[in-house]
Structure 1
Amino acid sequence: MLKLKLLGLSMIAASVVLGSQALASVPASLSDRRLQPDGDRLSHNESATLAHPHRETLISCMGAIVMVAGGVFLLLNFRRANRNTKTADLSGAQLCGADLINANLSDADLSGADLSGADLINANLSGAEICGADLSGAEICGADLSGANLSGADLINANLSGANLSGANLRYANLSGVNLRYANLSGANLKYANLSDADLNCTLLSDANLSDANLSGALLFFVNSRQVQNLEPLQLQAQHKPFLCNVALPSYSHQPKVNPNRDCDRIPQLLSVRYNISLEEAQGIVNEARQHRWD
């Protein structure tokens, strides 16, 4: 990076110096020129120059302007490139309840930060370091968290509906009561994650690692989990079982005792309470979902 900075500055300096030299040389060359006696023969080029005495000045000035403008262009690009390479260091920052709607925090360091109750709707947090951060109760719906490191993060009751968490590291994260409706968890690492009472309605889980994840009381409604990794029958038969309705289970966990529609009669009541809709509307959602057949 230091070499790039020095190179950029040297190019800028060279452009400015060359432009200055060109401007300085114009008056001297013109002052030395004298009109020759009438008897002397002028060359074609000299005649043209004498016919347009200001042309050389104009050409030289234009060259100088181009050089200086080139230097300014390089300077602006250098500053822009330098600014884009910086990543925000917000580790341990106190951002409780902060308004970060549409904020660009990609690759930022937010490890250990307090973002509880923060508004991160549609924020760009792709590739960010958010391990151990407090995001409890935060509004993160529609945010881009692809490839982010959320290991050990506290996301209790956070709203992650429609968020992109593909490839994210959620190992040991606390996702209890979190809203993951329509969220993308493809390829996410959820090993040892706490997903108790989480809402996984229409969540994308292909290639997600659910090894030893706690799914007790979670709502698994209209979910294709056939490509999920390490989803064991024991996780679906815990004391406080997850609610299953129209779930495509992976072959290794789909045993006769695990019914993927075992809780469809209870789902309308759950949806009515969670989404504050009428029981009739919730029943209609369940009926429509059950018409779908997983390939």
Structure 2
Amino acid sequence: MFTDSHCHLTFPELSSQLGAIRQAMAQAQVDRALCICTTIEEFADVHALATAHDNFWCSVGVHPDNEGVFEPTEQDLLARAALPRVVAIGETGLDYYGMEDRKGGRSIADLEWQRARFRTHIRAARACAKPLVIHTRSASDDTLAILREEGEDGAGNRAGGVFHCFTESAQVARAALDAGYYISFSGIITFKSAQELRDVVAFVPLDRMLIETDSPYLAPVPYRGKTNSPAYVPFVAQQIASTRGISVEAVAEATSRNFSDLFQGVQA
């Protein structure tokens, strides 16, 4: 019924509890999950999860925040993308959040390595015709500009993909939709302070929407502050249903269908 389009089951908070997580998913009617890769060093473990379970798939990529890790070439990404059950490139993108505290006071100009890495991922995605899983935080203008410069403008031969864990404005959502991308919402939309984001939920067409947990992070209300799990993705669907005045079943059906449409090779 439900599909978690973005989770990190190899992270230590979750990896030791996989059996319990899968049981909880079954009880919550969460039928499928996409296990996201954040470093090349992590890829073997992420891929092993996808190959061991018939309702898991995975991506290959390097998160924009990760420094001091193996920096993949386009060919490095393509070789892994060709493996069974790898259905996406990413997560990739740009993260300018907390420049003073998290990035040692560096300027945006100093993050050219992020932009170069993002371009490598886009080119790999276009070469293998697999969608991008995009992370953008405090960097939406540059994220959209680089996508356009690399040909991801909604026309012609493109990779497409999803803006995951969306927290941006309706204007950014419109630009992403115009480029042919999907928008994925997380447990953040259940937070009391997230009314502006719920307005974006009301704006994004249901046929261009995904749901996710980004677990182990961002657990939805009523589990906010606790370790998140794919079993909690129905709470995201419930918030979307409430915001849009439709049934949770309609949200589950639409977002699961969208997941299958976007990530080719994923069974319904």
- Same fold (TM > 0.5): no
Name the one with the larger strand percent: 2
**Scaled by the length of structure 2, what TM-score is found?**
0.29
Higher Rg? 1
**Scaled by the length of structure 1, what TM-score is found?**
0.27
Name the one with the larger helix percent: 2
